[in-house]
């Protein structure tokens, strides 16, 4: 039994959900998000609760059960509070700044890296060494943060690069003479 799947998703005030077939659409103050579940689960909406139940006892149905419930919970969280990922830049001369909708990164390459924010995701740079990615869609926010981090991943010898805030980088000892 899925401990996560058994719990119903509660729709907070100001949030409404509609179901058409296997697609659930959630509307809230920060926009509208939708998710299409597989045929392995059944979604029902009762009052302010959304329940997900597996169809059958197959392994795939049990896997989809908890995952579908979590995705629906993320829709509700996204349209109410939104999601946020914070990145830190460490390294001499490494910095970031916003110019309109474009994030300009100076990461030690011979050229600046320009990253255009996709629709539905907001990128801000409160300091030269901090980047904040915000949006209603958890997957989109995580994907944008991962793409920005990929431009200069943190390396284990000096710790330079772009890392998630609070991320621990295992440091290695360099060569000895």
Residue 1: per-residue pLDDT: 63
- pLDDT on residue 107: 93
- CATH superfamily, with its number, for domain 3-80: Ribosomal protein L6 (3.90.930.12)
Q: How far is CA 109 from the centre of its chain?
A: 27
The answer to whether 50 and 18 are in contact (CB under 8 A) is no
Domain boundaries, the chain: 3-80, 83-164
The counts of H helices and E strands in the chain are 3, 13
Please say whether the beta carbons of 41 and 84 come within 8 A: no
pTM above 0.85, yes or no: yes
* Residue numbers in the chain where pLDDT is lower than 70: 1
pLDDT at site 176: 86
* CATH superfamily for domain 83-164: Ribosomal protein L6 (3.90.930.12)
């Amino acid at each position: 039994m899925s401990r996560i799947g058994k719990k119903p998703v509660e729709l907070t005030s100001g949030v409404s959900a509609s179901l058409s077939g296997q697609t659930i659409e959630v509307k809230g103050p920060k926009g509208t998000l939708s998710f299409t579940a597989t045929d392995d689960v059944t979604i029902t909406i009762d009052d302010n609760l959304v329940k997900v139940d597996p169809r059958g006892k197959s392994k795939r149905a049990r896997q989809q059960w908890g995952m579908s419930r979590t995705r629906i919970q993320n829709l509700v969280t996204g349209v109410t509070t939104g999601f946020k990922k914070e990145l830190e830049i460490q390294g001499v001369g490494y910095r970031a700044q916003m110019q309109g909708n474009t994030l300009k990164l100076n990461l030690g390459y011979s050229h600046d890296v320009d990253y255009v924010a996709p629709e539905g995701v907001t990128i801000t740079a409160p300091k030269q060494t901090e980047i904040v990615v915000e949006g209603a869609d958890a997957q989109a926010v995580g994907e944008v943060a991962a793409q920005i981090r990929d431009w200069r991943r943190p390396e284990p010898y000096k710790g330079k690069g772009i890392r998630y805030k609070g991320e621990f980088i295992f440091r290695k000892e360099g060569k000895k003479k």
